[in-house]
Amino acid sequence: MPKMEKNVKVSMLCQIYGKMLTKKQYDIITDYYNNDLSLSEIAENNNITRQAVRDIIKKGENKLFDLEEKLAFMERTLKQEKQLEQILQELSKIEDTSSDKKIAKILEHVCEELSCLA
């Protein structure tokens, strides 16, 4: 899997596995990673301490990373997206060099269908 910034990774994992977190963990992680709120802002909004926010975020992150380690859904999804991109590139090369209108039409349809999956 390509190396990605932790913020992006946590945000993606939260989209995939967010329902496995407690509501409070999900809300706080979403505020921190997706809504760009500070620990202080989150603490104030939830009437808890900054340390409590930090603990909730750490526990939530650990759970998300643990789920991904066991299930590898994000890794498989990213790998499939990369494979689809490569297939579309190869098909587009064939489409560009083909003079047969029937083949070009079929390739165009296949590319459209595959693009929906990407």
Q: What is the pLDDT of residues 93-112, one digit of tens each?
A: 776 777 777 777 787 788 78
DSSP designation for 86: H
Q: Are residues 56 and 113 in the same domain?
A: no
Tokens of 82: 């990369």
Query: Does the global pTM surpass 0.95?
Result: no
Decide if 1 is inside a domain: no
| Domain's final residue, options 41, 56, 71 | 71
Decide if 37 is inside a domain: yes
Q: pLDDT for 21-34, tens place per residue?
A: 999 999 999 999 99
How far is Cα 26 from Cα 19, in angstroms, rounded to an integer? Answer: 8
How far is Cα 20 from Cα 35, in angstroms, rounded to an integer? Answer: 20
Q: Are residues 52 and 91 in the same domain?
A: no
DSSP designation for 20: G
How far is Cα 23 from Cα 46, in angstroms, rounded to an integer? Answer: 13
How far is Cα 57 from Cα 25, in angstroms, rounded to an integer? Answer: 7
CB 34 within 8 A of CB 11: yes
Could you give the number of structural domains in the chain? 2
Decide if 99 is inside a domain: yes
Look at the block and give the residue holding tokens 């496995």.
20
In three-state secondary structure terms, 118 is coil
Look at the block and give the residue holding tokens 């390509």.
2
Q: Are residues 38 and 89 in the same domain?
A: no
Q: Look up the domain containing 85 and give its range.
A: 78-117
| pLDDT at res. 3 | 52
Q: Are residues 41 and 65 in the same domain?
A: yes
Q: Are residues 21 and 39 in the same domain?
A: yes
- Domain at 59, CATH number: 1.10.10.10
